[in-house]
Amino acid sequence: MTMAQEPARGKAIETFTGPGANPHWNSVGPYVTEPQKVPLILLTDRPVQLETPRHYFRTAFTPNEAFYVRWHLEGIPNAVDLKNWKLQIEGNVLKPVVLSLPELMQKFKAVSLAAVNQCSGNSRSRLQPRVPGGQWGNGAMGNAMWTGVRLRELLDMAGVKSGSLMVQFQGLETGAGPAGFGSNLFLKSLDLGNPVLDECIVAYLMNGEPLPMLNGFPVRLVVPGYFSTYWTKCLTWIRVLSAADENFWVKTAYRVPDTPRGNTTPEDVKAGKVKMVPIGRLPVRSFLISPGGTSKIPAGMNVTLRGIAFSGFGGVNRVEVSDDGGKSWMAAKLGEDHGAYSFRTWEAAWTGKSPGRYSLAVRATDEKGNTQPDEPVWNPGGYLWNRIERQEIAVGNAS
């Protein structure tokens, strides 16, 4: 995670990493320009998966045009006709509801909430042994101010019938696979008893602008504190279910071991010893964004270390940095508090006193007392990575 950059002949970054861990902050794909986006790091093009480069995380809010993208199926809308598009609340309800975008904007109170959207597989390329899947570096995350309608108001309007179990979300995404398979539709559900439903927003604004098509125009579900798998893009059907959702994306995919940190071993998985449960909230994480190791720092120069931190279990209330690889720690200064589910920026002044290589490390603690550990995580899906991040910094002679 150090690596100075140079554009020299024949010295482009490697085209893949492994079998060791990806040593870079981001993944290693080329930059591509997709509609409504600045050049982002390509993981796959069909369906589209794009990673946000490190430097866009200097601020608490991630710009829409740099916000990462992750779709599951290759049928991604590139045009939505708002003359026809309607949000539908259906299934086990007293009175199905159909709402146009103007109705969503005018009939309900608009609420805003800052929340981090992080892919379940963010940092998957760190795992040892490596697991198949999207080989994300750290850039499958972003924070935005989401504005829209409370999901609860929509459910109340339709009237959830007693005996209902789950609420299922379906967007406009479709795949070429046969009906009834995960390759045909991407469907996610949450238990009706889950208190997060009271915090969910059906968002039509992202940082005060319409959502980019690749991030879910015209509306997307926001599930504060939860991994992005639940944040259905181009949300069009909200379906109340009277039975458990048995579809692939709920029953089989996005499951993690029912162990501390979701940690296990390939051997235990093979032996059938691991009970798997649906992935949930974001474990506490923090990142050093700058300096990013691309430049040498003269000895004795007092520089500012900057980064972000977040947790899905409650706001981050402590960030600490280390310049000896994690042996001793000092407190960083936290930036503005945009709410418990937002990125929290932090900074700390630091001087590399003598020339050499320093291993900077950063760790966060949330208000529930969860602190980032220094042990790696392994599970077959490549989820929940939140180990302490390190950055090697070269300090040069100043004279």
Partner 1 sequence: MKNRVLGIFPVVCSLAMAAGVVYAEFKKGYYSPAELGSLRQAAPMQLLPDANYQVSAYPVPAVDLVSGDGLQDVQIYCNTCHGPRYITMQPPLPAATWEAEVEKMNKTFGAAIPEDNTKRITLYLQAHYTTDNRKQ
Residues in contact with partner 1 by CB under 8 A are 7-10, 12, 15-19, 22, 29-36, 39, 42-48, 73-74, 76, 78-83, 125, 130, 132, 134-135, 175-178, 180-184, 210, 213-214, 217-218, 248, 252
Q: List, as one string, the DSSP characters of 255-303.
A: EEESSGGG---HHHHHTT---EEE--BPPPEEEEEES-SSS-EETT-EE
CA pair distance 262, 248, nearest whole angstrom: 20
CA pair distance 132, 347, nearest whole angstrom: 35
Residue 215 · residue 67 · CB < 8 Å: yes
Beta strand 389-396 pairing with 297-298: parallel
Q: Shortest Cβ distance from residue 129 to partner 1 (Å)?
A: 8
Q: Which is nearer to partner 1, 86 or 281 (CB)?
A: 86
Q: Which is nearer to partner 1, 45 or 374 (CB)?
A: 45
Question: What letter does residue 5 receive in the DSSP assignment?
Answer: -
Q: List, as one string, the DSSP characters of 163-189.
A: T--EEEEEEEEE-SSPTTSTTTEEEEE
SS3 238: strand
Residue 314 · residue 340 · CB < 8 Å: yes
Comparing CA positions, the residue from 158, 123, 154 lying closest to residue 138 is 123
Comparing CA positions, the residue from 47, 242, 50, 20 lying closest to residue 141 is 50
